[in-house]
Amino acid sequence: MRTKLGYAAGLAVLAATTIAFGGPSGGSISGKVTYEGTPARQKPIDMSKEPSCAKQHPTPITTETVVTGPGNALLNVVVYISAGVPDDPPPAQPAAVDQKGCQYIPHVIPMVVNQELKVVNDDPTSHNIHPLAKINNEWNKSQPPGTPPFIEKFGKPEFIPVKCNIHPWMHSSFAVLKNSHYAVSSGDGGFSLPNLPPGKYTITAWHESYGDQTQDVTISGNETKTINFVFKAKPY
């Protein structure tokens, strides 16, 4: 009986320790990313040189350098904690980019340093993915149709423009980050960074055309802080 009690008490201590030091914490930072001014109009893409892709888009798609939503929402902005949290080990689950309809999906691909990136070709044509890295090693890889996905990794934090050496309209960005506290602004420009213990953080918002902005935020207890980012649209 004493043994059982002791075991139970030990478990209770273990549980308390987990909650205090290791478990998810309740603080969070959320908000919206918007733009002011008039963003450059996105141009329709002519895919007639690649009929297998063109026919996947009954309505021609446009460039995605600046993607906006209702209420001046600015999409595809990577919002991440740039100071105040320790670096994370690479998550077990790979990040992924799909080449489909001669587009990169998603357009912006965040990942953690040394996390596996799975590169998929879902098109009946070859792609040659070419991340124009400056801090990491630059490489380019041809991926014929029907070949299996391949895995790559980036060992240093960097925002990397990505292009296809075969289809000049294909562009994307890899965001290689030091930790898993990131979000990409979606349909209404919203983002959320959950599971933050109390502390002082620097939040950076990065957009491929409009650059980056930072804000400092202090979280105490389990509070949710709201911060917003407003980017000035570059004129035409």
CA atoms within 13 A on the CB side of 94: 14
Residue nearest to Cu ion as judged by C-beta position:
164
Q: How far is the CB of 41 from Cu ion (least distance, A)?
A: 24
When asked if residue 127 is in the footprint of Cu ion (CB under 5 A), the reply is yes
Q: Shortest Cβ distance from residue 164 to Cu ion (Å)?
A: 3
- Residue 167 near Cu ion by CB under 5 A: yes
Q: Which parts of 200-229 interact with Cu ion (CB under 5 A)?
A: none
The residue from 119, 164, 175, 177 that contacts Cu ion (CB under 5 A) is 164
Query: Among 54, 105, 166, 230, which residue sits at the site for Cu ion (rule: CB under 5 A)?
Result: 166
Q: Which stretch binds Cu ion (CB under 5 A): 52-60, 78-86, 108-116, 161-169?
A: 161-169
How many residues of this chain interact with Cu ion, rule: CB under 5 A?
A: 5
Burial of 162 (0-12, 13-18, 19+ CB in 10 A): buried
8 Å CB contact between 233 and 37: yes
- For residues 100 and 122, the answer to whether their CB atoms sit within 8 Å is yes
CB 144, min distance to Cu ion, A: 11
Stretch that binds Cu ion, among 12-20, 77-85, 167-175, 187-195 (CB under 5 A): 167-175
Strand partners, 74: 68
The answer to whether the beta carbons of residues 62 and 42 sit under 8 Å apart is yes
Give the β-pairing of 95-100 and 150-152.
unpaired
Tell me which stretch binds Cu ion (CB under 5 A): 71-79, 84-92, 125-133, 213-221: 125-133
How far is residue 49's CA from residue 84's CA, in Å, rounded to a whole number? Answer: 48
- Supply the minimum distance, in Å, between the C-beta of residue 21 and Cu ion: 47
User: 75 is written with which tokens?
Assistant: 């999409």
Distance in angstroms (rounded) separating the CA atoms of residues 228 and 107: 22
> Which range of residues in 68-76, 122-130, 152-160, 180-188 is near Cu ion by CB under 5 A?
122-130
- C-alpha–C-alpha distance, residues 144 and 181, integer Å: 34
User: Where does this chain bind Cu ion (CB under 5 A)?
Assistant: 127, 164, 166-167, 170
